[in-house]
């Protein structure tokens, strides 16, 4: 397996580990972007096979990451405005009784 794929999967797993262990929404945003960068690295071997498909893959990943970052940033701004905190455990509305 290509070293880029190995590094990419390690970065993805690191990001998932960070999401699982934090309650801070800013850290969740950073960890999600780390997963995206891991996907960028894992995509690299495709450049040797089909460069145009690789470029479109990178383009789609960039579009997805822009969308997810803006949505999560909006969620952070709104959560802070409502609760004065970025800790997800302070969000109590919508919980099951």
Using CB under 8 A, list all residues that contact other proteins: 1-5, 7, 9-20, 23-31, 33-34, 37-38, 40-42, 44-49, 51, 54-55, 58-59, 62, 65-66, 69-70, 73, 76, 80, 86, 88-89, 91, 95
DSSP category for residue 84: S
The nearest distance, CB 97 to other proteins, in angstroms, is 14
Q: For other proteins, which is the closer residue by CB, 17 or 82?
A: 17
Q: How far is the CB of 28 from other proteins (least distance, A)?
A: 8
Nearer to other proteins by C-beta: 95 or 97? Answer: 95
Cα 83 to chain centroid distance, Å, stands at: 24
Judged by beta carbon, residue 49 or residue 97, the one nearer other proteins is: 49
The greatest distance separating any two alpha carbons of the chain, rounded to the nearest whole angstrom, comes to: 54
Tokens for 40?
A: 């960028």
- Write down the least CB distance from residue 66 to other proteins, Å: 6
User: Positive or negative, the Cα torsion across 60, 29, 25, 71?
Assistant: negative
Q: Do residues 65 and 30 make contact, with C-beta atoms less than 8 angstroms apart?
A: no
Supply the Cα-derived Rg of the chain in whole angstroms: 17
């Amino acid at each position: 397996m290509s070293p880029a794929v190995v590094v990419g999967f390690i970065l993805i797993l690191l990001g998932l580990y960070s999401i699982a262990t934090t309650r801070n929404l800013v850290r969740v945003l950073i960890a999600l972007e780390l997963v995206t960068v891991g996907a960028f690295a894992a995509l690299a071997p495709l450049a040797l096979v089909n460069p145009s498909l690789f470029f479109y893959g990178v383009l789609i990943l960039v579009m997805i990451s822009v969308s997810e970052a803006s949505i999560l940033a909006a969620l952070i701004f709104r959560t802070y405005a409502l609760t004065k905190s970025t800790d997800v455990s302070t969000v109590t509305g919508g919980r099951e009784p």
